[in-house]
Every structure is written in C-alpha cells, then in structure tokens.
A and B are shown apart, each in its own frame.
Chain A
Amino acid sequence: MKKAKLTLKSRDALIGTAFMLPWVIGLLAFTMFPLIYSIWLSLCQVEFSPNGIVTEFVGPKWYIEAFTADAKFITDMINTMKSIVFTMPMIIVAAIILALLLNTSIKGRAFFRVLYFFPVIIISGPVMSKLMSNQATTIIHPDQYAIYTVLENLPGVLSVPLCYIFDNIVTILWYSGVQMLIILAGLQKIGDPIYEAASIDGASSWQKFWKITLPHLRPMILVSAAYTIVDLAGMTTTPIHSLIMNNMMNTEKPYSYSSALSWLYTIAVLLLLAIVFLILKERRKERHVR
C-alpha cells in the first residue's frame, strides 16, 4: 500500500515536470544562459574571427572604463534613473486618483475606465516617439502662461517636480492604465462595513482615506510600483538603452562593453526595486486587524 502511494507521488511529480519542461528549457536557453554568458562577455575582450567570436578574459576593465572614461554613460545613467525615480511616484499617485474617481457610483464609469486604459493598448516605442517629437503630447504650452514662470521661480525642491508634471502630464497619465486597474481592483476588495464602522466612530472622510484606504492598498501600490519601474526601465526610449545598443557593435569592444553597461543598468534597476520594496512592504506593527 505504502509503496503504491510513493510511486503515485513520484508519477505526479513526473507529469508535473513534463508540464514545466518547455518553460524550464526556455529559461535555461534564453534567460539563464544569456545572463551568465553576458557576465562572461562583460569581462572579456571580444574579437571576431572566421569561426565565430573569440573571447579573452580581461577582468573588470569595461566596468572601470564605464565609470572613468565614458562621460556619456554616467549622464545617460543618471538621466534614466532620474526619470524613473521622478515618474514612478507620479504615475502611482495618478493611478490612485484615477482609481478613486472611477470607484464612485456615478454613471459612465465603464466608459472612462475603457478610455483611460486605451493608451496601454496602442503605445509602442515608435508611436510614442512620433507623438512626442511632433508636439502632440505637449498639451499645455506651459511657457505661455504666467503661472509657469511663477512655478519656475519657486525654490528648486518645489519647482522641479511641479514643472516636470506640467511637461509630462500626458506621459504620466498614459502610463498609469495598468496601475489604475490594479488599484481599482484593490479598492473594490475593501468592504463597505469597515468604512461604516469608521463612520460610526466619527472618522472624517479624510481620516478614512489615510487610515483605511491607503493601508489596505499598500500591497497593490507595491505591485504597481514594481510594475512601473520594470515598465519604465524596459522602455526603448531611455537614453541608456540607446547607449547600450549603439555600443553593441562598437568595433573596438564589440558585445563586451555594452554587456558591462547592461549589467550596470540591471544592478541599478534592481537596487531601485529593492529600495521601493523596503519602503512599501507591509510593516508588522501597522498591520490592521480585519
């Protein structure tokens, strides 16, 4: 009896493995192997030869070069990370506001939801860059208004983000579609009873938002933030992406240098994700008793 059960169990694992097999093969061939090979490339001098490519180990030379000899890398990296760090919170705030608006009991919600999600479907690198380069996304021409000069003259801490919002309002809203729906799903999970209980205890709407809605949304905000960072980091319009692509066939250092750059970029993105995770992860002390 016991023996039969064991074989059943291992048979089970075997069928399960068969289900996984395509994905695992893909993972090894198209993700794990490239990852490891790319680390190797980034530490090598690569030469083309008739029989393919020849690699010669040179150590962390390209990494050092990226920081010491390539001024473009540092500025492109800073600009890319800056735009991610700036845009991500704005997308999240926009998504929360949109989700709250759409979570009301007004008519036409479905229509607006469909409308707000629309850009997610049609945006691709070329479409976005065509729209941006032809001024279709600068909706307010801010320099025409006095308010913009007022904003510009505010202290840097205030003026930089505010001007950034004005300049990028279309982009921010367009990239918040998925996040909006994730947060909307989160909002709909918070039951009415908890709000009613808070009302009975005399909580104001403002208090309810900060004490009930936001804490309940924390996991959704975390997911949205991670999604936003990955989404923004993967965009083809980032300066660092074009730098990596341009260096790929650099005749003096083909493959190797851009591999090193892509690893530095990956590390930066992972660090950013880790920071966001640490800030947004659920803290034991504050956890609510449902």
Chain B
Amino acid sequence: MFGKKFKAKAQAEGKNIVLNAVIYFLLICIGFVYLYPFLYMIVTSLMTTEDLINPTIMWVPTKLDLSNFEMVWGVLDYPTSLLTSIIFSVICALLQTICCALMGYALARFNVPFKKLWVVLLILTFIIPADVVMIPRYILFNSFKMIGSPLAMIIPAALGQGLKSSIFVLIFMQAFSAVPKSFDEAAQLDGAGRIRVFFKIALPMAVPSIVLCIIFSLVWYWNETAQTAMLVGSDFQTLPLQLQSFDALFGASFSTSFGDASNRLNERYQFAATLLTIVPLMLFYLVMQKQFVKGIESAGITGE
C-alpha cells in the first residue's frame, strides 16, 4: 500500500517478490472493478434475446449478434449526432482555450489592475454550482432569441465562462509563469513588443498546456448535457443528449413490437446505445492517453 516504503525496502533487501505480488493483485482487482461495467455493457449489448433469458449465459454470448447496434444506430440518428457532437465540442474547446490562454498570460506576466480580485473571482466562478447561473443565463439568451442555437453555449465558452474555464486559466497561469522572464527580456531587447513576445515565446513554450486544455475542454463539452439540453434544446442533438432521451426515442420508433419487453430485454439496446455514445471518446482517449495523464500530473493545479 505504501509505495515509497516498498521502494526503500527493495533497495535494502534486494527482493520483494511477495510485496510486488500483493501490489499486482490489488491493482488487478481494482482494475477489474474499473472495467466491470464496460465488460458487462459490451457483452450484454452483443447478446440476443435467447442469450439474455438463458441464466447459464453470463459472459459469453452464443453467437455474435450485431442487430442491437443496427437498431440503435437508427434510433440515435448516429452519423448526424456524431458529427454534431464533434463540431460542437471542437468549436467550444478551441474558443475556450484561446480565451483562457489570454487571461492566464495577463495574470502571469502583466501588472494588471486588481490582479488579486480577478484571481479570487476566478476561483469563485469555479466553486459556484452551475445551477445558480443557469436560470439567468437562460433568461438572458432568451431575451436575445438565442435559445435553441448552439451560440448560447459557444459564446460563454469564447468569453471564458464555459465549463470549468477557471481550471484552464489556472493551468495557463502556471505554464506562463514557468517560462523564464529572461526570455521575454532578451526578446524585448531585440525590439519585440509584448504581443510579439506572447506569440513567439510564451505560446510555443506552453504547447503541452495548450494541448491539455484543448483535449480536456473537448471531453467536458462532449459530455455536457445539463446546460446544453436547456440552452441549446431539442433541434440540436449531441450524442449524449440523444442517449439521455433514448428511452423515449426508442419507444417512439418501436412502440408496438417492443413496448412490452421486460427491462432485462430492453437493457441490451440501452447498452448498445451507451456503447455507441462512448466509443468515439474511447478511441480519442486511446490515441491521446499520454497527453491526458502527463498533462494533469505536470499541470501544476496541485496545491500551489
């Protein structure tokens, strides 16, 4: 359980096979708990009705059955929702990252007036539950007739009031502060202005943080449903929103033939839908996993 301890012991005694075995055992057990819902979901979504009824079949379906996915594909309107999700979250993520980078740079490098106040407000915006600003935001956008348009989500993102924007500003503040000031001074001696220094020195030095912010912002916007459902509404359906209303959609598509199906039978469609919703994120994570994990560890949101 206590890593550092074990390290020291290993050096002292040379052998710690038993301890390593215990650690592996724990890691694998916990790993199983992590994976269990996914395995269960994948297996169930591949099963046919007969397999589901059969109590002897727990993990291995008798045959591969992709019909659940075919059915759910149509109900979720998959290609359209997927494209909507991708475009929506990419736009929000990029704009949010740009705004937070600017703010982070201002706090890290400039003697702006009321600096302390901005930092306090920054933290406050992070702490306050979204519920409290939702209703006025709704009224605000409603008075501009923007409810139902993705702009109602995109504009706050572009102005740094999107999802967890404060974290990104803090990450950028940390990243820009870590760039040695002498770099700036050297460039300024060579005649570069502050804006040029930002683009030519600060930004290139902060690339890891930029990548981190874009991908996290992307994931959070992808997964967001509460605000999106309320502000952007029903014409604009991202994948998680489709999943949220899946039961209703499914009932509407197959009202007579499947209406009486018991919960246990219905569950394979639900899982197939859930799986289709998270597959893009899973692929994204597999490609970007290094940046995700490294990013958080080095981002310096760790107590400073």
Contact = CB atoms under 8 A, between A and B. Distances in A.
Interface of A: 9, 12-13, 15-17, 19-20, 22-27, 29-35, 37-38, 41, 52-53, 97-106, 108, 110, 112-119, 121-127, 130-131, 134-137, 139, 169-170, 173-174, 178, 181-182, 184-188, 190, 192, 195-196, 199, 205, 208-209, 213, 219-220, 222-223, 226, 230, 233-234, 236, 240-241, 244-245, 248, 255, 258-259, 262-263, 265-266, 269-270, 273
A136 B106 contact: no
B126 to A, nearest CB: 6
Contacts of A126: 225, 240-241, 243-244, 246, 274, 277
Chain B binding surface, main DSSP class: helix
Nearest to A181: B296
Contact of B4 (A115, A187, A255): A187
Contacts of B137: 30, 34
Contacts of A34: 132-133, 135-137, 140
Given A26-B156, A134-B267, A182-B302, A124 B240 contact: yes
A24 B103 CA distance: 9
Contacts of A135: 267
Nearest to B105: A19
B226 A241 contact: yes
B30 A25 contact: no
Contact of B1 (A101, A139, A241): A101
Contact of A127 (B20, B107, B277): B277
B131 interface: yes
B297 A181 contact: yes
A208 B7 CA distance: 13
Contact of A182 (B136, B225, B244, B301): B301
A115 B159 CA distance: 34
A16 B103 contact: no
Contacts of B100: 23
A193 B98 CA distance: 41
A136 B41 CA distance: 7
Contact of B112 (A17, A186, A195, A208): A17
Given A17-B106, A205-B2, A124 B224 contact: yes
A226 B102 CA distance: 25
Contact of B133 (A31, A101, A116, A245): A31
Contact of B2 (A139, A213, A241, A273): A213
B152 to A, nearest CB: 10
Interface stretch (B21-29, B62-70, B203-211, B252-260): B21-29
Interface string B187-207: 000000011001000000000
Contact of B3 (A23, A35, A103): A103
Contacts of B136: 33-35, 37-38, 41, 259
B128 interface: yes
A198 to B, nearest CB: 9
